[in-house]
A = this chain, B = another copy of it.
């Protein structure tokens, strides 16, 4: 059966890195992968054409696809849009919500070749390999009521942080299963000493634990988790948390590696359909200069092959190609260091393809 893959370049550096992913997809096809690749508009670039960050056409294509590859969305150009529903980010949030992509996997791992890129002391991050499992379709991102309104003669802004037992259980199971496949340690992050919604979160995690007797479950308050990530990140294996805390902690964890330009992510729904994207943003400041790092995007292709297309062997070929390119000392500007060879976005794409 031919899998449909939807490529959504998005904004900023998105199109440049998506172009390298497109070349890689073609190479996979030539190597026997049975896929059909379509493209679509999302984010600010969709807004420019259709007046909406998530046009109906894109959503239809996304629903029909086995997997979506997204570059990045957003930029200063659209930050001033009064109507929040028109902002590029809403394209991303709309895809997550409409496709039910509740399970966000954000690995933070340190490539040995890039150990010196971390801002942390080498001994604290050598071998770092954390998987953050973030709930992606609930919590304060989508909670109702929300808005800005007049109360007692002044404006008040409000959002609602809400989770139901079934939402918590669903992401909890993803995290426990992930821990079973990895180091068998799961840390659930909440603020149960202050927020009722996270008391329920903790309770549900506790209730699930006996079903996964081989996994050691612990709990940590979010403020402490932020500290422990800075102090001793290697204590973590799998971390599970809600949408907002996950946004913050996964970015902090990714940055610990010093090479966020290397990190892919997956967002999965219950039927295994997935959206794959780099952990980094659209980096408008360096867009159009052919200097962005395409590796997170190319590694997102690998993650897609593994999680949505069940093509682990081909995923490994891509990962090995990236490893050998790093071994050869090729680096885009963001990961450059002394004694390495600085290459452009396209040159990095060339090198991975040659090694594939």
Contacts and interface: CB of A to CB of B under 8 A. Distances in A.
Interface of A: 74, 79, 84, 87, 89, 93, 119-121, 124, 140-141, 143, 146-148, 151, 154-166, 191, 193-201, 222-224, 226-227, 229-232, 244-245, 247-252, 254-256, 258, 260, 281
A199 B149 CA distance: 12
**Copies per complex of this chain:** 2
A256 to B, nearest CB: 6
Contacts of A200: 148, 155-157
A252 B245 CA distance: 13
Contacts of A156: 162-165, 200
A194 B139 CA distance: 12
B247 A222 contact: yes
Given A157-B199, A196-B157, A227-B252, A151 B124 contact: no
Given A84-B199, A165-B154, A248 B260 contact: no
B89 A193 contact: yes
A157 B198 contact: yes
A255 B233 CA distance: 12
Given A154-B166, A157-B201, A158-B162, A74 B196 contact: no
Contacts of A163: 156-158
Interface centre among A162, A230, A254 (most CB of B within 10 A): A230
Contacts of A247: 191, 222-223
Nearest to A243: B194
A119 B125 CA distance: 10
Contact of A199 (B148, B201, B245): B148
Contacts of A245: 248
A155 B162 CA distance: 11
A162 B157 contact: yes
Contacts of A248: 222-223, 226, 245, 248
24 contacts: A74-B193, A84-B196, A119-B121, A119-B124, A119-B230, A120-B230, A121-B121, A148-B199, A148-B200, A154-B164, A157-B163, A157-B197, A157-B200, A159-B160, A160-B161, A161-B161, A222-B248, A226-B226, A226-B249, A227-B254, A227-B255, A231-B258, A245-B248, A248-B248
A143 B158 CA distance: 9
A155 to B, nearest CB: 5
Contacts of A93: 194
